[in-house]
Structure 1
């Protein structure tokens, strides 16, 4: 087993915040939260027998199950590499894609060699699909089709495209729950292998299940180290509350949220975990954002100016760091405390740091759900956007045009954000090809808007965010305003056996989410950046800057 120290927790709180956290810790002790979590007592989150609780605790078995599956995974990885495959394209959304991307980035950071290059398609944007097509050679590309439900429209649409590109079952692997539509497709098309997920693990808690470990093995990650770190962290999470960093973190997050600090500013300070944020964002937002409450994760909050300068009283900071002291980080955290921002620090380290971080955050999120009085395992508001997309597609099939979006002008943006103040927040929802370039431009737009508005501003790529923060947008507190940005894709990619192409699906998803948000009373604007979204977004940013 790798040398993985137990996660540790430190916090910097005001006297009033310390009292609030201590009070919830005493209640957690009285209610035996740690013991009941590991005993899988579903009444920890409400009445006995409520849906998606007792049958969603299989993630507590995931490290042990992953260890048992490891020889089969390594055998598959060795076989496909020996056959000359060079790339693995993962078609999946949300919980099926976020953990694999973190694992792949961690593998690159670690300097490990071997394995296939992992390429993600978690977008229906035809330009994104075309980019992956251009970067891969079909006969040397293994396709990993990953969907828990087995019927996710984005994933199955991507499968149809990729199968049309190379109709060879030996080049396809499926990860899905037993008995799904995808399992039938895999059998019909002669897939090389099908790995079953555990039906008692929800998608966002599936990092250590086959949804995470199959792509990890294929891309040459240290799966044994990942499992060892997770196992060590799970054992640490069984300890009494006063020795249990993960459970104490969940209590502290919930207690501070109940004090009005419901924006969780995520700061990943360990270089090996720098891509951890999007996975943690989904875990926290989708697990807690319901019943009119929840935690909004905010990555790299420009208003916080580092860790808290000018920060309003709706923020708390979670710093995920390595075990070694860092003078610059220490100074920033001390400044944050002086600025009145509560700071929580979770330290993970050793060879199994990533596995430990996955488990510690899963435990903390489950405990935070208890503290907030919500079921952290369901997603009651996600289906609404799916239904709205289906409605738009049905209208198009009947001959109606796609719902148009007005041009993205500074006036339209400034109208949406006029008067925006904490505890409100703004969600920038971009139906653009996910890329570092797009993220950089969206970050610039966020900084420009943040100069005049102290409210938190988040960024999400569509349709990926529908499977992540989308739950909180609809089910959380009615604090959000939403700017949906779409474009006219340049590439054309049909979807075999479907009455619409990828462009139509993408724009239907954007329009469908606009309808859903508006129906929930959320202020929303959907704007079009045109055929050159880079030029359109740069012009929009410049025009807003000139208005200041």
Structure 2
């Protein structure tokens, strides 16, 4: 497990960062931060954080404590295979889905991940062979609305096929959660109780990460062994501890105004690590008006990474390609642990609690309020340009704005110097996958660090930073017409209604935080996306 620091030229930003890192590393070593973290010392983040930290540090020993789970998971996998059940669908959000997706993609084993409220994407998951399907329902609280909706939909679908639904549902949750209780009452196939002293974004090596990954066929023993090999180094109070180096580099960068962390894979062999790290970093640090904003880019040649300015630190996942970037490399289990250690230590350097997420609930409350009063009247759009309806809060668009391109220019003009642009796509990340091109196109033409998130997935990730972190973001929200909606059994709403409520609710909270939000609604998704891409290309022409 390694962290490589940039060399650079004496006058470069990177060299100054390196010089600033040394005293921080010396400080962390003197304060024995690494060994105290392994020992689960809850006082590391100050008295205000201590109550939460005291029940959130069991992740430091998961490489050992999770080992008994492996045999249990393998036994269930063999039982299901003997019954002809070998297709695994995971219903989970945030930490319940991001780690399993990285683990299985890297291992090359199939896992269908449902972390969406888009009816089309859920319908796609339902269209698979249900006679071969097991559903893993994964929720720490047991009350996650998206995951509960998926469970209800699949339960009904199993029954409609004459399949005993209870025999095809596996639950991962915390002890005594509402889901644990209801799963027992329903007689579901298996209930795995995770360690309640691990927060969701630190749960990669708990039952939340291991159960769906192991049922899908990933090698869990190797994953935990990778983490165990790294754990000793990360707990050592030495200046070459990779977690201390990474934390000090990011902390020093933040002090000098580089609050963005741009992540690009440089040939690590690990697929999707940036998306997992995105939640870890954003939810852990983005609060109290401070924090690190993770920006996941497509490649090291992508805008935002190759041309990172003074407000950003490029970090490679894999070997460093030159001396201008930090890099972290190693096996997946070790990288999980490295970034968890470093992020927790950055919390100490930024004087924040890295284990709470005080602003996540705001968007959920706003969405619930809209579900309670599900009016379809959104008011007239500010303007309509072909298949795109543009909705803007008062004061964002100047008088006379008549085209989509004009609206985009007005949004971008509202960004402060060294601000960022967040693209939030409440669409189908399978059928509408080409929307991801917007990140690079906008970053290239604006010079702004630009993030891309699928809604509502990002609400359980960067959503915390958007409200609690540095208030220098502008937001481009995208919604689309639903061709075929889907009723949520036992609930008075459809998936389309829920998706709309989540988008509008989050937008409402951002506006209340006085952040610029422009919502684009595609009356025809394919045509709307093509029209938007064309408008973006003209913005910087």
- Fold agreement, TM-score > 0.5: yes
Rate the CA distance shift 1:239–1:157 in 2: closer, same or farther, 3 A: same
1:298, 1:458 within 8 Å by CA — same for their partners in 2?
yes
Q: Does 1:389 align with 2:367?
A: yes
Residue in structure 2 matched with residue 173 of structure 1 by the alignment:
170
Match of 1:161 among 153, 169, 181: 153
What per-residue deviation string (whole Å, max 9, x for no partner) do you get for residues 123-162 of structure 1? 011011111111x122221000000000001110111111
Structure 2 equivalent of residue 431 of structure 1: 426
| Cα distance change of structure 1 residues 426 and 155 upon mapping to structure 2, 3 Å threshold | same
Partner Cα separation in structure 1 for residue 267 and residue 337 of structure 2:
17
**Which piece of structure 1 moves more, 367-376 or 299-308?**
299-308
Q: Which contiguous aligned blocks of 4+ residues in structure 1 show a shift greater than 6 angstroms?
A: 301-304
Q: 526, 529, 534: which one pairs with 2:526? A: 534
Does the Cα contact within 8 Å between 1:175 and 1:211 map onto a contact in 2?
A: yes
Say if 2:136 is the partner of 1:139.
Answer: no
The equivalent residue for 1:377 is: 355
Q: Is the CA contact (8 Å cut-off) linking 2:284 and 2:354 kept in structure 1?
A: yes
Structure 1 residues 142 and 484 mapped into 2: Cα distance closer, same or farther (>3 Å)? same
Give the aligned CA root-mean-square deviation in angstroms. 2.0
**Is 1:517 aligned with 2:514?**
no
Tell me which residue corresponds to 1:345. Answer: 327
Distance 1:308 1:387 in 2: 35
3-state SS of the aligned residue for 1:451?
helix
Query: What is the match of residue 501 of structure 1?
Result: 494
- CA distance in 1 between counterparts of 2:300 and 2:334 reads 30
CA distance in 1, matches of 2:452, 2:362: 21
Contact 1:127/1:491 (<8 A) preserved: yes
Answering whether residue 215 of structure 2 is matched by residue 231 of structure 1, we say no
- Judge conservation of contact 1:290–1:475 (CA < 8 Å) in 2: yes
Contact residue 264 and residue 300 of structure 2 kept, 8 A: no
- Please give the residue correspondences for 1:28-67 in structure 2 after superposition, counting only pairs within 5 Å: 28-47=28-47, 50-67=50-67
Equivalence for 2:115: 122
CA contact (8 A) 1:7 1:233 kept: no
Name the structure 2 match of 1:464: 457
How many Å separate the matches in 1 of 2:304 and 2:412? 24
- Residue 81 of structure 1 corresponds to which residue in structure 2? 81
Of residues 252-261 and 265-274 in structure 1, the stretch that sits farther from structure 2 once superposed is 265-274
Matches within 5 A, 1:131-530: 131-134=124-127, 136-167=128-159, 168-300=165-297, 305=302, 309-321=306-318, 330=321, 333-334=322-323, 337=324, 343-348=325-330, 353-396=331-374, 401=377, 407-408=389-390, 409-418=404-413, 420=415, 422-435=417-430, 438-443=432-437, 445-530=438-523
Report the equivalent of 1:26. 26
Decide whether the 8 Å contact of 1:421 with 1:455 is kept in 2: no
| C-alpha spacing 1:309/1:219, structure 2 compared with 1 (3 Å) | closer
Paired residues of 1:303 and 1:456 also in contact (CA < 8 A): no
SS of the equivalent of 1:272 reads coil
Alpha-carbon displacement from aligned partner over 1:72-120 (angstroms, at most 9, x marks no partner): 1110111111110131110010000000100110111xxx7xxxx3101
Deviation at 1:503, TM superposition (A): 0.4
Asked if 1 retains the 8 angstrom alpha-carbon contact of 2:28 and 2:244, the reply is: no
CA 1:174–1:309: 2 relative to 1, 3 Å: closer
Q: Is the 8 A contact 1:90 1:118 kept in 2?
A: yes
Distance change in 2, residues 1:306/1:470 (3 Å): closer
Which stretches in structure 2 are left out of the alignment for 5+ residues?
Answer: 9-13, 160-164, 383-388, 391-403
User: Any conservation in 2 of the 1:303–1:455 contact (CA below 8 Å)?
Assistant: no
Structure 1 portions without partners, runs of 5+: 1-5, 323-328, 338-342
Shift of 1:286: 0.8
Please say if residues 425 and 480 of structure 1, whose CA atoms lie closer than 8 Å, have aligned partners that are also in contact: yes
**C-alpha separation between the residues in 2 aligned to 1:270 and 1:304?**
13
Partner of 1:340: none
Task: Name the CA distance, whole Å, in 1 between partners of 2:346 and 2:61.
Answer: 20
Q: Which residue of 2 aligns with 1:325?
A: none
- Pairs aligned (count): 511
Q: Do 1:263 and 1:315's aligned partners in 2 also have CA atoms closer than 8 Å?
A: yes
Per-residue deviation at 1:400? 6.3
SS in 1 for 2:478: strand
Question: Relative to structure 1, is the Cα distance of residues 240 and 32 closer, same or farther in structure 2, using a 3 angstrom cutoff?
Answer: closer
